[in-house]
């Protein structure tokens, strides 16, 4: 049976990236050693990380004055690392989901936090709009896509203060005007690679202005200075990230992948809106292209487990909604082919006919 991988992360990767990683695990570049056992300071791995830096800058169209670094610790470490490096007195945050709430919690350890907009009262079923950004803060932090609730901000805000964005679950899914951001970060395990590496893009002139002393490992300048080699980096995830970037460039970059992601999202949302058995869980203007959340209509609620089992038997993997939301969630990340989305749509239509 063909498996259709809708997992929310770790998530589906391009097949060529997986195959090339598997080859490198057995024998990296014909050197007779595995990528798992070579030195991170070897010329062979240096070539990999150099290519990954260059590809990221090219594909994401990163301007001069910005640095790309590869770190461990996941986006959750960035929740503390961002305020450690940027928060002197006060920062503004949007509260748009679980991960935004966790970022707010960590930032409160370093200064005053002004939550300027929140959708918590409506269970994060929309992305706030029309909020005012204060000018007396060190930065504004946003989470562009909310994996659990299925909302997304697809515009680059015009911010009067430094704009910081957690793009973990929509990184490289569309073109972005990087010049509007002071710092962008994200864990790789949605669109970029396997779990274990986190990407940070930072405008270098915002660093080094804190009155506090920052531990070396938590100081972005440390990792910029040493080319992400201050300590042993996550070698294998960086290799797979590089293979994924090569795949993304070969298919046409961010303009092409956005076109593909729009087609996948439209296909599934159109079926959710058409099918009498299903209903979306977020307002239409805030719908994510990456994490599509839906439930059974009220009159069909008793069939929730039945549909889950039916879909599983049709090869659908990972469509169970997060425990905080319930229902179903189809994560349609970059590497997911539109044929898998069509298979889920066919599954929903067949289930409708049965009931």
Catalytic residues: 99, 166, 190
Contact 41, 221 (CB under 8 A): no
List, in order, residues 6 or more apart from 91 with CB less than 8 Å away: 83, 107, 111, 112, 113, 114, 137, 138, 139, 140, 141
Please give the Cα distance from 55 to 250 (Å, whole number).
11
Residue 354: partners with Cβ closer than 8 Å, 6 or more residues away: none
Helices (H), 29-128: 43-59, 74-86, 98-107
For 283-344, give the DSSP string.
Answer: -GGGB-SSEEEEEE-GGGGGGHHHHHHHHHHTTEES-BPPTTT-SEEEE--TTS-HHHHHHH
- What torsion do the CA atoms of 262, 264, 266, 268 make, to the nearest 10 degrees? -150
């Amino acid at each position: 049976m063909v498996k259709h991988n809708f997992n929310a992360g770790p998530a589906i990767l391009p097949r060529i990236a997986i195959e090339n990683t598997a080859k490198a695990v057995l024998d990296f570049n014909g050197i007779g050693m595995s990528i798992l056992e070579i030195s991170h300071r070897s010329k062979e791995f240096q070539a990999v990380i150099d290519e990954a830096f260059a590809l990221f800058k090219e594909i994401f169209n990163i301007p001069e004055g910005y640095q790309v670094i590869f770190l461990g610790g996941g986006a959750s470490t960035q929740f503390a690392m961002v305020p450690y490096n940027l928060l002197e007195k006060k920062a503004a945050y949007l509260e748009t989901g679980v991960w935004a709430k966790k970022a707010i919690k960590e930032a409160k350890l370093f200064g005053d936090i002004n939550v300027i907009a929140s959708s918590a009262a409506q269970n994060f079923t929309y992305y706030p709009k029309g909020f005012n950004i204060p000018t007396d803060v060190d930065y504004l932090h946003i989470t562009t896509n909310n994996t659990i609730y299925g909302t997304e901000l697809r515009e680059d805000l015009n911010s009067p203060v430094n704009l910081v964005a957690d793009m973990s679950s929509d990184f490289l899914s569309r073109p972005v005007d990087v010049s509007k951001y002071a710092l962008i970060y994200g864990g790789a395990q949605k669109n970029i690679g396997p779990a274990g590496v986190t990407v940070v893009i930072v405008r270098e002139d915002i660093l080094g202005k804190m009155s506090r002393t920052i531990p070396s490992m938590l100081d972005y300048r440390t990792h910029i200075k040493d080319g992400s080699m201050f300590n042993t980096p996550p070698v294998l995830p960086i290799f797979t990230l590089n293979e994924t970037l090569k795949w993304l460039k070969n298919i046409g970059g961010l303009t092409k992948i956005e076109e593909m992601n729009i087609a996948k999202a439209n296909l599934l949302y159109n079926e959710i809106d058409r099918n009498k058995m299903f209903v979306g869980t977020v307002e239409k203007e805030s719908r994510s292209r990456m994490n599509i959340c839906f439930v059974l209509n009220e009159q069909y609620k008793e069939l929730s487990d039945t549909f889950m089992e039916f879909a599983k038997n049709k090869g659908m993997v990972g469509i169970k909604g997060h425990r905080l939301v319930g229902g179903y969630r189809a994560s349609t990340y970059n590497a997911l082919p539109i044929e898998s989305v069509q298979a889920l749509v066919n599954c929903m239509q067949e289930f409708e006919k049965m009931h």
